[in-house]
Amino acid sequence: MNWFKVITLTAALTANTAFAEVAVIVHPSNAATLDQAEITRLFTGRGATFNNGNKATPLNLSESAAARADFDSKVLGKSSSQMKAYWSKLVFTGKGTPPKELNSDAEMKAAVAADANAIGYIDAAAVDATVKVVAKF
């Protein structure tokens, strides 16, 4: 009986991990292509343009949103605390400003759909036609 519980729990956890995919999204008119290195560059303040030369405005989810920790770990390869330490160094030395933060997938979708320069991310399950997916992690 206990074994059965463990197996069910393991299956549930595995399934959960597999389903919680993060979709990196841009405005539907944005024709730029992006790989993980370029997305990392934009979200760490080391670059400010897409590969087609257009200005890029990265938008982050706040730490209360589920996809934030997934994005930090899967795409940027850091924990959310490591990213906070990274940005504190830049903010308090005048070398950079972290991306603006939005509270939910819905707010993120609306912001990206309204700005041709924006790049953000949401839970892949929340994607609809108002935004364009450039990568999934």
Partner 1 sequence: MKKLLLATAVAAICSYPVQAEVDISGFASVMGGKLTSGSGVALFGLEPTFLANYPTVGVYEEDWTFKPDSKFGLQMTAELTEGLTATAQLVGRGADDFDAGFEWAYLSYVLNEHWTLQAGKKRLPLYYYSDFFDVSYAYLWIRPPADNYTWQIFNYTGVNAQFNYQLSDWSVSGNIYTGREDDAENKLLSEFFGTEPVREIWKDIVGGVLSLNRDWLDLRLTYMTYQNERYSGGQRVFWDGEDSRRGNFAGLSVNIDYNNWLLLSEVNRLALDGDDFDTYLLSAGYRIQQFTPYVSYADFDSDGEKHNTTSLGVRWDFHNSAAFKFQFDDVNDKGIGSNQVAGDSKAITMGVDLVF
Measuring CA to CA, which residue among 64, 61, 66, 45 is closest to residue 101? Answer: 61
* Strand order across the beta sheet in which 118-123 lies: 100-102, 57-61, 118-123, 22-26, 132-136
Contact code string over 4-43 relative to partner 1, x by CB under 8 A: ---------------------------------x---x--
Residues near partner 1 (CB under 8 A), total: 21
Cα(first)–Cα(last) distance of the chain, in Å? Answer: 36
Among 2, 3, 29, 46, binds partner 1 (CB under 8 A): 46
CB of residue 67 to partner 1, shortest distance in Å: 15
Does 85 bind partner 1 (CB under 8 A)? Our answer is yes
Among 36, 57, 73, 80, binds partner 1 (CB under 8 A): 80
Among 14, 54, 81, 130, binds partner 1 (CB under 8 A): 81
CA distance 45 to 22: 20
Provide the 3-class DSSP secondary structure of residue 97.
Answer: coil
CA distance 14 to 29: 36
Among 2, 16, 52, 93, binds partner 1 (CB under 8 A): 93
Nearer to partner 1, 5 or 46 (CB): 46
